[in-house]
A = this chain, B = another copy of it.
Amino acid sequence: MSSKHLGKQTVRLSSPPAVLAGAAVVGKKEGEGPLGACFDYISDDSYFGEKTWEKAESNMLKRCFGIACDKAGMPPSSLQYIFGGDLLNQCTASSFAMRDSQVPYFGVYGACSTMAESLSLAAMAVDGGFCDGAAALSCSHFCSAERQFRFPLEYGGQRAPTAQWTVTGAGTVILAKSGQGPYITHVTTGKIIDAGVTDANNMGAAMAPAAYDTIKTHFEDTGLSPEDYDLIITGDLGYVGREALLELFSRDGVKLGTNAMDCGLLIFDRETQDVHAGGSGCGCSASVLCGMLIDSMRERRWKRMLFAATGALMSTTSAQQGESIPGICHAVALNLEVPC
C-alpha cells in the first residue's frame, strides 16, 4: 500500500495544500436566505444578463472563477489545472464557463458531490507535485436543472414534501502549495452506493447511505472520531437525508451531534422560503463551502471540518427505465492549521 493511503479509501496529504481563496456567486433566492451576507455576488437577474438559463449558469460560474482568482491574487495564467463539473447534460455549464480560461481543464462529474470531487482531485494534484496552483469549481442553476430533470417551469408542477430545491449558485476554490489556510489534510473518496431507492423526488434518501458509508470509512481509515471535527458538513442531504444519516449512525451507537450540519439546510430558511426538504444541486455545497465555511474557519469559528458532499448518479433516462438511484459521497478534511 502506498504511504499516503490510509485504510480503504483515504489518503493523507503529505504537504497539505492551502485554500488560498473561495468565492461564491448565487441567485436572488439564495441571497435572501440565511447565508445571504456570505456570498461574493448575488444576482437579482436569474438570467445573469444572458438569454438562456444554461448560458446564465455558465456566466455565473465564470464570474465566480474570476472573483476567486482575484481574491487569491492568482490570475488564471498562474493556475496549472482547473477541475470542474456540473449537472447539465455533457457538463456544459462548466466547460463553456472555462472555455476562454486558457488553463488545462479536467472535467469531472459527481452529480451534487462534484465540488468535493473537484476539490479532492485538485488537492491531490497539488500534493502530488503536479502543480503549484489549481482551481476546483462547480455550479447549478434552479431553472436549467428544473427543465432538464423535472418539468418546464411554466408547467408549475407540484413538488413532493421530500423534494429539494436546486440552488442557483457557483463556488470556486483556489488551492496552492503554500499560503494561508485552511489546509486540506485528507481526502476520502466515495464508492458508489445503491440502496435501491427509486423515488427521484427523494434524493436525500438515495444519498444518505453513501454519506454514511464515506463518513464512517473516513473515521475507520484515519482513526478519528466525530468529536475530532468541529464541523461535519454534508453536501445536500436536506431534511429527509440528514435524518436518515443520523439514524444510520445511531444504529452503530454513534451520535452525530450538533457538529453535524447539512449545506442543503443552511442555505435556505425552510420556514419561509418554501423549499420543502432543503437545497440541493452542485451549487449548494459549492456555494456554502466557498461563501461561508472557508471564511468561518478563518474566523476560527471551526478549526477542523469534514466537508462531505453527496451526489445522486442518475439521469432522467435511468429513472424512466426503472433503475434505482446510486449515491456517492466524497469527503475532504480541512484544518485551519497544518498538522504536525
Residues of A within 8 A of B (CB): 1-5, 9, 11, 14, 51-52, 54-55, 80-81, 85, 87-92, 95-96, 98-111, 117, 120-121, 124-125, 127-132, 148, 177, 189-192, 194, 313-318, 321, 323, 326, 328
Residues of B within 8 A of A190 (CB): 104-105
A-B contact pairs, 21 of them (CB 8 A): A4-B129, A11-B130, A55-B321, A81-B189, A88-B315, A89-B316, A89-B317, A92-B315, A95-B313, A96-B323, A96-B326, A99-B192, A99-B194, A101-B192, A105-B190, A105-B191, A106-B110, A107-B109, A107-B110, A125-B128, A128-B128
Q: How many copies does the complex hold?
A: 2
Expressed in whole angstroms, the Cα–Cα distance for A29 and B109 within the complex equals 30
Cβ–Cβ contact A2 & B318, under 8 A: no
How near does chain B come to A106, taking the closest CB pair, in angstroms?
A: 6
Contact of A191 among B90, B103, B323 (CB under 8 A): B103
Contact of A106 among B90, B117, B129 (CB under 8 A): B117
Cβ–Cβ contact B105 & A108, under 8 A: no
Cβ–Cβ contact B189 & A104, under 8 A: yes
Q: Whose C-beta in chain B lies nearest to the C-beta of A3?
A: B129
How near does chain B come to A40, taking the closest CB pair, in angstroms?
A: 24
Cβ–Cβ contact B124 & A9, under 8 A: no
Expressed in whole angstroms, the Cα–Cα distance for A105 and B329 within the complex equals 10
How near does chain B come to A130, taking the closest CB pair, in angstroms?
A: 5
Residues of B within 8 A of A101 (CB): 191-192
Cβ–Cβ contact A109 & B108, under 8 A: yes
Expressed in whole angstroms, the Cα–Cα distance for A232 and B96 within the complex equals 28
Residues of B within 8 A of A95 (CB): 192, 313, 326, 328
Expressed in whole angstroms, the Cα–Cα distance for A148 and B89 within the complex equals 10
Contact of A108 among B106, B125, B194 (CB under 8 A): B106
